[in-house]
């Protein structure tokens, strides 16, 4: 399946792009997606940082199964004061 992954804020800077087109096998999950994104973009996030993923504007759990054409956004952690 083909997906377009959008990067936000710090992830956009570290990836050097706004989006990335990614091909994953049918039945792939959010965990599969984040694993592949870490492989493709090693500087994206340290291993101890969970990458927050939104699928079709809703936050998604690692076991969420992706579908062709889903709107995928990677959202870096946010800290506030």
- Strand order of the β-sheet with 58-59 is 19-23, 2-7, 71-75, 52-55, 58-59
CATH code reported for the domain at 2-75: 3.10.20.30
Per-residue confidence band for 80, with pLDDT thresholds at 50, 70 and 90: low
Task: Output the pTM of the full model.
Answer: 0.91
Domain parsing of the chain, residue ranges = 2-75
Tell me: pLDDT of 77 over 90: no
- Per cent of the chain over pLDDT 90 is 93
Residue 23, helix vs strand vs coil? strand
pLDDT, tens digit, for every residue of 32-52? 999 999 999 999 999 999 999
pLDDT, tens digit, for every residue of 65-75? 999 999 999 99
Q: Which residue has tokens 């990067």?
A: 7
């Amino acid at each position: 399946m083909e997906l377009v992954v959008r990067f936000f804020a710090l992830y956009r800077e570290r990836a050097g792009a706004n989006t990335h087109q990614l091909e994953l096998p049918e039945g792939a999950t959010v965990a599969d997606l984040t694993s592949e994104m870490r492989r493709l973009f090693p500087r994206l996030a340290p291993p101890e940082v969970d990458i927050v993923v939104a699928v079709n504007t809703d936050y998604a759990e690692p076991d969420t199964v992706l579908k062709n054409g889903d709107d995928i956004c990677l959202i870096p952690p946010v800290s506030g004061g």
